Structure 1
Amino acid sequence: QCSLTVALILMQVLNTSCEREGLPKLPVPPLQQTCERYLAALTPIVDPEELNHTRKLLEEFQKPGGVGERLQKGLEQRGKKMENWLSDWWLQTAYLDYRMPVVVHSSPGVVLPRMEFSDRQGQMRYAAKLIAGVLDFKSMIDNETLPVEYLGGKPLCMNQYYQVLSSCRIPGTKRDTVVNYTLDKRPPTHITVVHNFQFFVLDVYNSDGTPLTVDQIYIQLEKIWNSSLQTNKEPIGILTSNHRNSWGKAYDNLIKDKTNQESVRAIQKSIFTVCLDAPMPHASDDMYRTRAGVQMLHGGGSRWNSGNRWFDKTLQFIIGEDGTCGLIYEHAPAEGPPIVVTAYLYRKNKQHGSMLNVESLSFFFLFCSMVHDLDMKVSVFSHFGKDFPKSQKMSPDAFIQMALQLAYYRIHKRCCPTYESASLRMFRLGRTDTIRSMSIDSDKFVKAMDDPAKHNIEKVALLDKAVKAHRAYADMAIRGQAIDRHLLGLKLQAIEDLAALPEIFMDTSYAVALHFNLSTSQVPAKTNCVMCFGPVVSDGYGVCYNPMDTHINFAVSAFNSCQHTNAARLAQALEDALLDIKTLLEQTPKVKNWSLMFDS
């Protein structure tokens, strides 16, 4: 399982340059276009009276020489001066200014296929191969030979790959920062390894600069394991799971002690972290997937493995004694796809170099508690995969999103604002924008699906139209023409330029539009894994999926504190919706052009 090479994992490779100069800048969409599309997005989620009020505000906002035009010109000027007009703002507003704990609320986890370790040595051997593989990947970053990825024949920005190693989030009492140590005069040569809540520095390079071999790393991991058998150490890592303001204050106190400061700096500067976890409580195969998802997101609490984490660290690989494997990453520097690619860099190295000593890190413990409110369901939909939507000439992603809309509607009897992540990596320093999966067309489809007065042929026509509308919005989003980041840019430009916010940003409709009851993401991978993350609102769900050829991996999350949401119930409703849509398509005669049917 550990013989995959970097070349096989990375996508289509034609160019080995890591330079961004050939990529276009992120555009600023036309103001009128965004306002029109904003109204369309609001139509199914706000009442007519509120919509009419918002329409009038937008008309006022767009008047020639008015506020909107001035802000638009300011954004366009910013776009000319900067490499990416959005990237700095997005990093600050979406991540570093966000004060909720990164655990569950921000940091995603990835569940990798379960390994079969016959003994503890199997866990150590697997960890050694993983470390060697990531070091091999690091050499491509250091040498600037990381192959460029392509989407539809167009190169993608590779900057995020250069942010995930040797970086860490630093807590503050009001705002956090992210530090990347890759460009230091003496870049880090060590990783951190955590076992039994104890943190260790492991230097992974020989004196001549060559990386340790798998066998050498294995020996060091054995030493770490043997020297950390006592579990009476306090789970200091749980401090990083706290509310950011509280953690910022505790951090300031923690690093007043010189030993603590040196220990914390060693973790922050390390290339990445490896968490050697204790086994989870035994669970059935069905429950195991969910338990594994919980382990990746928060470690199961202080009694289990939450103390085996430093949640501010950008990249933490998790390897459990029982074969539970995956990772968690701090979201500020990168999105999901580069992380998933990095997760599969397992490769055997040459045997070379000398054995290094292991240094134990020590801390003074400050009391911290973590509340477990996460409701999680990780499941495999085994009836079909992306092969079926393709056979119907439908986008698999759009097909799944329509099933998700139907599932939510069946449970809650209403449609809701839905966030789906769209990559902006076609542009320099591009991150994401929002695909608004809830649309006028999806609203019509889900309301018709269970209506006995509607004929199947009409239902299929509405599904076809909704899928095509979703595909069109997704294409628009990856071309930098979606509405959410543009509206955010106009708002932030107003904060910089004006004494007061324009009324459209204080309007009830704007608050409703940003209350994403469904926060979703497709994170496809060539291997059988799934990413998981928490909801973004208290009464919402987080849904991530990896569509394989013949099955789909799903991770659904909610909060136990909300009586209206339930992860297992949505997961079951999603499975039912997928099967019902498949049955509908199979039982309905084919029509050459659905768009001509029931067009209204």
Structure 2
Amino acid sequence: LADWWINAAYLDCRGPVVVWSSPGLVFPLQEFKTLDDQLNFAAKVIAGTLDYKIMVDEKTVPVERMGKDVLDMSQYFKVLGTCRIPGVTRDTLQFYGQSSDPPKHIVVAHNNHFFKIDVYGKGGKPLSVRQLIQQLRNVVERSTHPTHPIGILTTQNRNVWGKAYKQLRKDKVNRASIEEIHRCIFLVALDGPVVNPTGNEMNDAALNCVHGNGPQGYAGNRWYDKTIQFIVGKKGAVGLTYEHTPAEGPPIANLMDHIMNYINTGKGEEGTEGKENRPPVEELSRPHRLIFNISPTIKQDIEDAKVALESLVSDLEMTCFKFSGFGKSFIKSQKLSPDSFIQMAIQLAFYRIHGEPGAHYESASTRKFIYGRTETIRSCSMQSVAFAQTMLDKEQSAAAKVKSLREAVEAHKNYAKDAVNGLGVDRHLLGLKLSAIEAGMDVPSLFMDVGYLRSSHMRLSTSQVPARCEAFMCFGPLVPDGYGCCYNPRDTEIFFGTSAFNSSPETDSATFRQSLEQSLMDMHNALVQDSLKAKL
């Protein structure tokens, strides 16, 4: 199923990866006053990632567990040095980091220029933060004016980009430049100030991570096929965008946690790092500019990509926020599963707005199995609908609301348990469908059934991506009239990244936020009232 899933969920999909597939991950917000601040932080992000890469290369990344069960760790070895390659009908995935000649360089983008930087000294040691700052400054000094936004081609529909890619590669200079980008360990985009600020720093950072604010922003300063692409803004908006094919969110969030811990504990500071085998700054080979020859055809492809992306960017709205009412500590104190509790809050929020339940996708990890990826937790259930109706009925007592809440949480928890143990239905049905197609059979009628189609039109696309720091992941909705909702539950707060499309008159992410916050507080208050009555 692993190969089928990668093809069906990602490589066969012909829509753009931007908005429709690639999530953004917003790091804790920083405050940069000068260019030096920006470059210093970017250098530490690079150094922290290279420090993490040592664990990957030496296979010493701590093995994760779910209860007593160890989890498959293969995704951790597939994110650095990886790139998606466009095709006219199906894309491919290349794992350069696992080759016999793994890459030793990164690529830095600034003002749409791309530069190759070797990040290891002659003795094989990673460059120091001081050396990396020097290299980044060299990049900035040599790219003061924007050039053709060649990277914006990677935002296109995959068939369109696949054809343009073939044209681009016909020129041997372009081919060499593309190879360096494909092979690099990861990419770093140095951005200017926020474009089209919304007045909310979290929203601004999220939108920049998801789509770079389009052709007027920094979308040309990206290569969206690259698995890991860090973004460091001029004023302190920091994060990454990641191409989803090789991995789920948790390995990416763990990488970010490692980087932030590396920075916050001062590991990259001068004096704490060994200087042996590190060439002096003046001996470093300067960053190599990657040249692109832009033909009239490619120039037109760039213009077409701008138009297509502008449409996507103007349609996506995001509302990202920190919910400070309580966190997972309170939920656990009530002997409830934090994830199931938040999922029921999302169900209640949807029901409050729309007056009906919505088909609801939550990704469950199947990493108990080799090469496991995800299974669908269908969070909408008979119990969740009854719970939403009970909560919205003013005649119901706190005790009745709590009883309904506990039943809904228990139903979700049981479904989640089945899903992580390989007993879900969605991947099984996918396997049957693809088996039929491979065997040349007609697709079974079940897959055309109105009930099946309606229950698979996931108006709620949700995911829990926990992180140790104040960060959150965000992505676009799965369907035109749906919502995206990703969350990071912490002890006393919950970070949310929510999204909707402006083109849908039915959905609005700001309204969804209000409903979600009200749902969380209503659930909290019902539990508190019920426990007070029990004590009396």
TM-score normalised by L of structure 2: 0.92
Looking at structure 1, the residues matched to 100 and 172 of structure 2 have their Cα atoms a distance apart, in angstroms, of 23
Corresponding residue to 2:510 among 568, 574, 579: 568
For the Cα contact (< 8 Å) 1:327–1:343, is it kept in 2?
no
Q: CA RMSD in A?
A: 1.5
Query: 1:295 is matched with which residue?
Result: 208
The residue matched to 1:199 in structure 2 has which SS? strand
Q: Which amino acid aligns with 2:29?
A: R
User: Which structure 2 residues correspond to residues 71-82 of structure 1 after superposition, within 5 A?
Assistant: none
1:411-459 C-alpha deviation (Å, 9 max, x unpaired): 1111011000100111101100011110110011101211234333222
Q: Which amino acid aligns with 2:212?
A: G
For the Cα contact (< 8 Å) 2:391–2:401, is it kept in 1?
yes
User: Which structure 2 residues correspond to residues 58-457 of structure 1 after superposition, within 5 A?
Assistant: 86-231=1-146, 233-281=147-195, 287-346=200-259, 347=262, 348=268, 349-351=273-275, 352-353=278-279, 354-363=283-292, 364=294, 365=299, 366-367=301-302, 368-369=305-306, 370=309, 371=311, 372=313, 373-457=315-399
Query: 1:25 is matched with which residue?
Result: none
Looking at structure 1, the residues matched to 410 and 48 of structure 2 have their Cα atoms a distance apart, in angstroms, of 41
Q: Which amino acid aligns with 2:471?
A: C
Q: Which amino acid aligns with 1:356?
A: S
Looking at structure 1, the residues matched to 144 and 352 of structure 2 have their Cα atoms a distance apart, in angstroms, of 51
1:170-190 C-alpha deviation (Å, 9 max, x unpaired): 011111111111233321111
Cα 1:579/1:216, change in 2 over 3 Å: same
Q: Which amino acid aligns with 1:88?
A: D
1:171-215 C-alpha deviation (Å, 9 max, x unpaired): 111111111112333211110000111110001112232221111
Moved more, 444-453 or 195-204: 444-453
Looking at structure 2, the residues matched to 538 and 549 of structure 1 have their Cα atoms a distance apart, in angstroms, of 34
Looking at structure 2, the residues matched to 303 and 378 of structure 1 have their Cα atoms a distance apart, in angstroms, of 22
For the Cα contact (< 8 Å) 2:257–2:468, is it kept in 1?
no
For the Cα contact (< 8 Å) 2:485–2:496, is it kept in 1?
yes
Query: 1:463 is matched with which residue?
Result: 405
The residue matched to 2:98 in structure 1 has which SS? coil
Deviation at 1:591, TM superposition (A): 9.3
Deviation at 1:554, TM superposition (A): 0.6
The residue matched to 1:407 in structure 2 has which SS? helix
1:25-73 C-alpha deviation (Å, 9 max, x unpaired): xxxxxxxxxxxxxxxxxxxxxxxxxxxxxxxxxxxxxxxxxxxxxxxxx
Looking at structure 2, the residues matched to 318 and 560 of structure 1 have their Cα atoms a distance apart, in angstroms, of 25
Cα 1:464/1:259, change in 2 over 3 Å: same
Looking at structure 1, the residues matched to 36 and 400 of structure 2 have their Cα atoms a distance apart, in angstroms, of 60
For the Cα contact (< 8 Å) 1:196–1:228, is it kept in 2?
yes
Deviation at 1:305, TM superposition (A): 1.2
Deviation at 1:586, TM superposition (A): 1.5
TM-score normalised by L of structure 1: 0.82
Looking at structure 2, the residues matched to 131 and 318 of structure 1 have their Cα atoms a distance apart, in angstroms, of 11
For the Cα contact (< 8 Å) 1:277–1:318, is it kept in 2?
yes
1:557 aligns with 2:506: no
Q: Which amino acid aligns with 1:362?
A: I
The residue matched to 2:422 in structure 1 has which SS? coil
Looking at structure 1, the residues matched to 209 and 531 of structure 2 have their Cα atoms a distance apart, in angstroms, of 45
Q: Which amino acid aligns with 2:208?
A: Q
The residue matched to 2:217 in structure 1 has which SS? coil
Looking at structure 2, the residues matched to 389 and 345 of structure 1 have their Cα atoms a distance apart, in angstroms, of 27
Q: Which amino acid aligns with 1:191?
A: I
Looking at structure 2, the residues matched to 189 and 215 of structure 1 have their Cα atoms a distance apart, in angstroms, of 18
For the Cα contact (< 8 Å) 2:27–2:472, is it kept in 1?
yes
Q: Which amino acid aligns with 2:175?
A: Q
The residue matched to 1:375 in structure 2 has which SS? strand
Deviation at 1:147, TM superposition (A): 2.2
For the Cα contact (< 8 Å) 1:130–1:345, is it kept in 2?
no
Deviation at 1:145, TM superposition (A): 2.5
The residue matched to 1:588 in structure 2 has which SS? helix
User: Which structure 2 residues correspond to residues 20-31 of structure 1 after superposition, within 5 A?
Assistant: none
The residue matched to 1:521 in structure 2 has which SS? strand
Aligned residue pair count: 505
Query: 2:414 is matched with which residue?
Result: 472
Deviation at 1:529, TM superposition (A): 0.1
1:262-288 C-alpha deviation (Å, 9 max, x unpaired): 11111010000001111104857x611
Looking at structure 1, the residues matched to 446 and 520 of structure 2 have their Cα atoms a distance apart, in angstroms, of 37
Query: 1:481 is matched with which residue?
Result: 423
Looking at structure 2, the residues matched to 574 and 344 of structure 1 have their Cα atoms a distance apart, in angstroms, of 27
The residue matched to 1:344 in structure 2 has which SS? helix
Cα 1:585/1:235, change in 2 over 3 Å: same
Cα 1:282/1:107, change in 2 over 3 Å: closer
1:490 aligns with 2:428: no
The residue matched to 1:340 in structure 2 has which SS? helix
Cα 1:282/1:244, change in 2 over 3 Å: closer
Looking at structure 1, the residues matched to 46 and 62 of structure 2 have their Cα atoms a distance apart, in angstroms, of 20
Deviation at 1:498, TM superposition (A): 4.7
Q: Which amino acid aligns with 1:339?
A: I
Query: 1:61 is matched with which residue?
Result: none
For the Cα contact (< 8 Å) 1:103–1:311, is it kept in 2?
yes
Query: 1:59 is matched with which residue?
Result: none
Moved more, 136-145 or 308-317: 136-145
Q: Which amino acid aligns with 2:157?
A: H
For the Cα contact (< 8 Å) 2:87–2:159, is it kept in 1?
yes
Looking at structure 2, the residues matched to 115 and 451 of structure 1 have their Cα atoms a distance apart, in angstroms, of 44
The residue matched to 1:212 in structure 2 has which SS? coil
Looking at structure 2, the residues matched to 423 and 360 of structure 1 have their Cα atoms a distance apart, in angstroms, of 41
